Structure 1
Amino acid sequence: MKYIFKIQYKISDYIMEITFLGTSSAVHSYKRSHPSIALKAFGETMLFDCGEGTQRQLIYAKISPMKISKIFITHFHGDHILGIPGLLQSMNFRGRETKLTIYGPKGLDNLQQAIANLGFPNFDFPLEWIEIDSGTIVETEEYVVKAQRVKHNTLTLAYSVEEIKKPRFLREKAIELGVPVGPAFGKLHNGVPVEINGNIIKPEQVLGPPRKGNKLTYSGDTMPCEELIDFARDSTLLIHESTYKDEDKDKAELHSHSTSVDAANIALYSNSKELILTHISTRYKDIKDLLGEAKEVFENTKIAEDLMKVEL
């Protein structure tokens, strides 16, 4: 498609594919839709925010809404949530049966009730709404999702998804200890001791040192803040709002948003490896200045485009 780009990162145990479904701020433009990001990883599809038009963008991106397992909402401004009612209705019309969980800050019950009042009181598939605050909100053997309050003009959360990466399995060491090639290798790699010829072989005997997995952090809408610097620490990829140019810093402060330079400083101070700017105001027809001023602070910066895909 016209606006699809691919950026290849070093691939680890899992591939985390990020698709920018919408990259505008409060107003649509010809090339940018309301905010939404899809993450395909760990056998799941997750959605971060769901602005108006998200389900159409999913079609263009060839991502099935029926496979979305979780939706994470940063806050309740319309450009971040108005796609949810239509998306849920379409899932229902298409006969969805699997559970969908929607996470969001305090006030999520109001959104649930508003959708019911629109004429969707019940759906034919399991739908769970979970209000959250800062902290760990999802933890599996493969990944952890955390949330952090940031500074906007309404209660807003940033999110991170961090891969849990197993230590390397030392195959030759296992063979030296008499472990036969086969199922015992998998047990040891998964942390389960095995008995070989009367001897107990422990996982730590055949595993390398701990390894840090990829970390994705999404800022939501926010002013620059220390909380986000700490939260985004050592991110493989930081996706940060960049509503304004640095020359419009006064407007950013007035509306509790960030400039491109603010975002670059967050990436720099958090020791992130890469920064992608999103939530771009439609007032800027040429985004080269936004990118240029951010790169002066943090060189490894890109600007998101609708339907851009990234793998890490």
Structure 2
Amino acid sequence: MTDISPPIAVTILGSGTCVPSLRRSSCAVLMETGGKKLLFDAGAGTLRRMLECGVSIFDISCIFFSHFHPDHTAELVPFLFASKYSEQGPRKTPLTLIAGKGFSAFHQTLKQAYGTWIELDPGILSIVEMNTQGPDHLDFDLFSVNTRPAAHNPESISYRIASPSGYSVVYSGDTDYTDDLVTLAADTQVLICECSHPDEEKVRGHLTPSLAGNIAAAAGVKKLVLTHFYPRCDGFDIEKECRKTYNGELVLAEDLMRL
């Protein structure tokens, strides 16, 4: 039988926000490509959702952070703490943390608070800071990463992950409308895009369904996946609002959804 699975497999671990919800954990996305498991953001509930997918902290080789807000970074400390004090012993495989400029200082403040509890063995943890003023690029063995600034916080960036075949997935992180995201998402197979509030309740630094649709349409996105829903979205027809501007394949994310 022919394997028709995409070169980059995506699981939505958390489709929610900072507001506690039984339905939606805070932001987190798992991507699997080239034999690697990559985590994008790690808000509250991420580690439990990973276990529900059969994924261990030791399976993750890289964590990509869109910005430093707690609903995107809150479980970094538990991740590192568990990596050091697991029942199977401390982590022995490399872990790379990737984020916008300023992340090393952010990580240092966590170490000041938690000390050696979150310090892994020498040579295990590495940090890569990406440019927040313009485009940037990283090459890995079996995938590549492109980033552009996001319109949210000074450190905010969006990511495009691409396989050698050219198949790509874009993760917006939190952002307002920006041409940088249109450029980054050009002709991508999947755009995982924040959609915090309905059209009628636009908030600065975040997108609405029709604005997310505008970005996807302008970029020629094949599949748009809306995520990062505040509870208020439950009272609105998010799909209908997005259809004002986007006619392609549309998915409203739920926790543990596989794409």
- Taking structure 1 as the reference length, the TM-score comes to 0.75
Contact 2:15–2:27 under 8 Å retained in 1: yes
Amino acid at match of 2:130: I
Aligned to 1:117: 112
Tell me if 1:282 matches 2:235.
no
What is the total number of aligned residue pairs between the two structures? 248
Q: Distance in 2 between matches of 1:291 and 1:217?
A: 20
Tell me if 1:130 matches 2:128.
yes
Ranges in structure 2 where 5+ consecutive residues have no aligned partner: none
Aligned to 1:294: 242
Contact 2:33–2:143 under 8 Å retained in 1: no
Amino acid at match of 1:237: V
Alignment of structure 1 residues 101-112 onto 2, 5 Å: 101-112=96-107
> Offset at 1:26?
2.2
Q: 2:188 aligns with which of 235, 256, 260?
A: 235
- C-alpha distance after superposition, 1:125-147 (max 9, x if no partner): 61011211144442135321111
Tell me if 1:269 matches 2:218.
yes
SS at match of 1:285: helix
Aligned to 1:139: 139
Tell me if 1:62 matches 2:54.
yes
> Offset at 1:71?
0.6
> Offset at 1:99?
0.6
Q: Distance in 1 between matches of 2:135 and 2:115?
A: 31
SS at match of 1:102: strand
Q: 1:53 aligns with which of 45, 48, 53?
A: 45
Alignment of structure 1 residues 112-261 onto 2, 5 Å: 112-121=107-116, 122-124=119-121, 126-133=124-131, 134-165=134-165, 213-249=166-202, 252=203, 255-261=204-210
Contact 1:112–1:129 under 8 Å retained in 2: no
Deviation above 4 Å: which 4+ runs of structure 1?
A: none
Q: Distance in 2 between matches of 1:131 and 1:140?
A: 15
- What RMSD in Å do the two structures reach over aligned CA positions? 1.7
Contact 1:276–1:301 under 8 Å retained in 2: yes
Contact 2:33–2:163 under 8 Å retained in 1: no
Contact 1:141–1:164 under 8 Å retained in 2: no
- Which structure ranks higher in relative contact order (CA pairs < 8 Å, sequence separation ≥ 6)? 1
Q: Distance in 2 between matches of 1:293 and 1:284?
A: 11
Alignment of structure 1 residues 32-47 onto 2, 5 Å: 32-47=24-39
**Structure showing greater Rg:** 1
Amino acid at match of 2:56: S
Tell me if 1:24 matches 2:16.
yes
SS at match of 2:114: coil
- C-alpha distance after superposition, 1:7-62 (max 9, x if no partner): xxx947x6321111111122121100110101111110001111122111111121
